[in-house]
């Protein structure tokens, strides 16, 4: 082998090593755990550099792609040139196949596989040289970034977040399955992710279940409502429930009672009014600013549709909160194999998830009561039976205006389906 050939092989090795270095850097910066890197950055300047480079992720990846493409083309050309001199027969075919395998294995598969095993360590090792490449490539990156903006404007394209909510939920499920988080921790994070999309109508107490006080009601009647309801605050209405004028706190009521005051108007605090599509994340902030604990949900005609409390919002985030005076409600009571007694105030999605069933269509229904009345096309009587998919549904408790409780049993194969 002459001196020229030795020089060419030396250059090829250098080019392949640099290409492999950049391939490892690409995988490392895509895979490293940001939380772990932040922990390392406190005592490691290179880890801090990794985080700074990651903040400029688009330019980072663009630099790696540009240099790696140039290096891979150079490596392939050198392999073809060197091997074409060694083989006289079928030199083009042999040298081309060799070039492909060399670049693929040495420049891509091996370095990426190694970086994928230890992404944090690989990112720290690669950061200094990658930072240098970014400085060299900055004019090109600036030009390409300008072209990107022009292209986006020309086609009226919108930039989307690098990760959407569904992908985040999927990642959370994977982390839970791997044992990094327990179920309670993952449920809390999942609730926080979905919190911003929840609206008032998803969690409010409907008008029919509101316990209210008429502004001129007797003190004895008000006292009885506080005792029976167990609530610390009750809405006050004038005339009918469509005209709620404020809220009376139990503490203020008993203070007035002890002072033998008969006029409670000065103890009635103002409330806020919202529409059903109000996001509860926004409502929480509004309640905090107004120092209120309750909001009245009004319909399109200005009438009362329901009410929502600060506790309702917090429970949506952290789960049900019970105090020593609350009556614990068991929404789903198992009474047999695949057989449950279900409160009709329960969320329909929770019931269907319990049996692993999906609705045939997207219905504007949130409660089991709404689902049952839809199936029966009206308010059924106690004892009414109907089937939905492989579920046998029996009404066990009902009132004139709504269903209170149902029994749901999965229909086993071969059993007859009972209907109304």
Residues 178 and 213 in one domain: no
pLDDT attached to residue 233: 92
pLDDT attached to residue 349: 82
**Would residue 225 count as lying in a domain?**
yes
pLDDT attached to residue 420: 44
Parts of the chain with a pLDDT under 50: 417-420
**CATH code of 313's domain:** 3.10.580.10
Residues 33 and 129 in one domain: yes
Residues 23 and 85 in one domain: yes
pLDDT attached to residue 87: 64
Residues 245 and 302 in one domain: yes
Residues 302 and 215 in one domain: yes
What is the tens place of the pLDDT at every residue in 389-402?
Answer: 888 999 999 888 88
Residues 148 and 19 in one domain: yes
Counted domains in the chain: 4
Q: Measure the CA–CA gap between 67 and 137, rounded to whole angstroms.
A: 9
Taking the alpha carbons at both ends of the chain, their separation in whole angstroms is 92
pLDDT attached to residue 167: 66
Show Cβ contacts of residue 163 under 8 Å, excluding neighbours closer than 6 positions: 171
pLDDT attached to residue 245: 92
pLDDT attached to residue 189: 74
Q: Measure the CA–CA gap between 3 and 5, rounded to whole angstroms.
A: 5
pLDDT attached to residue 247: 93
Residues 274 and 212 in one domain: yes
**Would residue 358 count as lying in a domain?**
yes
Residues 207 and 191 in one domain: no
Residues 142 and 14 in one domain: yes
What is the tens place of the pLDDT at every residue in 204-233?
Answer: 988 988 999 998 899 999 999 998 888 889
pLDDT attached to residue 164: 59
Looking at the DSSP assignment, which residues form a beta bridge with residue 385? 394
Contact 52, 136 (CB under 8 A): no
**CATH code of 370's domain:** 3.30.465.10
Last residue of a domain, one of 276, 293, 318: 318
pLDDT attached to residue 342: 92
Nearest by Cα to 61 from 133, 124, 121: 133
Can you give the residue range of the structural domain that contains 364? Answer: 332-410
């Amino acid at each position: 082998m002459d001196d020229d050939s030795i020089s060419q092989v030396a250059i090829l090795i250098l080019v392949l090593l640099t290409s492999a270095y950049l391939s490892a850097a690409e995988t490392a910066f895509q895979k490293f755990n940001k939380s772990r890197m932040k922990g390392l950055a406190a005592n490691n300047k290179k880890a801090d550099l990794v985080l700074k480079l990651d903040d400029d992720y688009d330019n980072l990846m663009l630099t790696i792609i540009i240099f790696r493409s140039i290096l891979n083309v150079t490596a392939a050309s050198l392999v073809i040139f060197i091997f074409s001199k060694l083989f006289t027969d079928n030199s083009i075919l042999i040298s081309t196949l060799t070039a492909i395998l060399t670049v693929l294995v040495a420049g891509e598969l091996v370095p990426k596989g190694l970086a994928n095993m230890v992404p944090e360590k690989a990112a720290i090792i690669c950061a200094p040289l990658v930072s240098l490449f970014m400085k060299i490539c900055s004019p090109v990156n600036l030009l390409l970034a300008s072209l990107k903006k022009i292209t986006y404007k020309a086609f009226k394209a919108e930039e989307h977040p690098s990760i959407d909510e569904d992908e985040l939920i999927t990642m959370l499920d994977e982390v839970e399955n791997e044992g990094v988080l327990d179920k309670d921790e993952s449920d809390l994070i999942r609730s926080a992710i979905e919190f911003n999309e929840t609206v008032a109508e998803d969690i409010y107490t409907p008008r029919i279940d509101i316990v209210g006080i008429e502004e001129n009601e007797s003190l004895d009647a008000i006292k009885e409502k506080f005792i029976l309801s167990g609530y610390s605050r009750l809405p006050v209405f004038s005339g009918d429930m469509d005209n709620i004028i404020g809220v009376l706190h139990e503490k203020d009521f008993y203070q007035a009672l002890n002072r033998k005051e008969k006029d409670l108007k000065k103890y009635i605090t103002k409330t806020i009014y919202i529409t059903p599509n109000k996001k509860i994340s926004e409502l929480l902030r509004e309640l905090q600013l107004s120092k209120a604990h309750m909001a009245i949900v009004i319909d399109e005609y200005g009438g009362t549709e329901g009410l929502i409390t600060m506790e309702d919002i917090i429970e949506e985030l952290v789960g049900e909160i019970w105090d020593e005076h609350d009556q614990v409600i068991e929404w789903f009571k198992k009474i047999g194999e695949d057989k449950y007694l279900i409160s009709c105030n329960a969320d329909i999605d929770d019931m269907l998830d319990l049996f692993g069933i999906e609705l045939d269509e997207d219905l504007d229904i949130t409660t089991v009561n709404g689902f049952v009345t839809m199936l029966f096309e009206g308010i059924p009587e106690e004892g009414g039976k109907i089937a939905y998919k492989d579920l046998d549904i029996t009404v066990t408790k009902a009132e004139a205006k709504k269903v209170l409780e149902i029994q749901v049993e999965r229909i086993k194969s071969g059993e007859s389906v009972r209907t109304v």
